[in-house]
């Protein structure tokens, strides 16, 4: 777990210095995997339809529901590595 945590933290740092800005769908996937990795299943109240950004983020995180922390971290690491 310690090695995975170290790799995850490195991927988080790398995500701030990507060669090219990912498209919005990829950014939302990154967000969802990050939130699932750090906070677990989405327990937040669903934003209203007038908050489009908040709703998109909520949906991206909610799409990861049920994914265990280790798997979410590994998917996050793999995605960031693929983007670099």
d(CA 41, CA 6): 22
The reported pTM is 0.93
Q: pLDDT 10s digit of each residue in the chain, 84 long?
A: 789 999 999 999 999 999 899 999 999 999 999 999 999 999 999 999 899 999 999 999 999 999 999 999 999 999 999 998
Tracing tokens 């995975």 back to the chain, one arrives at: 4
Q: Are 74 and 64 in contact (CB under 8 A)?
A: no
pLDDT at site 49: 87
**Alpha carbon distances (Å) from 74 to 1, 8, 51, 60:** 11, 7, 30, 17
Q: Which CATH class is domain 2-83?
A: mainly alpha
């Amino acid at each position: 777990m310690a090695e995975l945590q170290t790799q995850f933290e490195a991927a988080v740092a790398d995500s701030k210095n990507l060669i090219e800005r990912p498209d919005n769908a990829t950014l939302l996937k990154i967000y969802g995997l990050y939130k699932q990795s750090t906070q677990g299943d989405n327990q937040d109240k669903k934003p209203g339809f007038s908050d489009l950004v908040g709703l998109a983020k909520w949906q991206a995180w909610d799409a990861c529901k049920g994914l265990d922390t280790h798997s979410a971290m590994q998917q996050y690491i793999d995605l960031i590595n693929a983007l670099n």
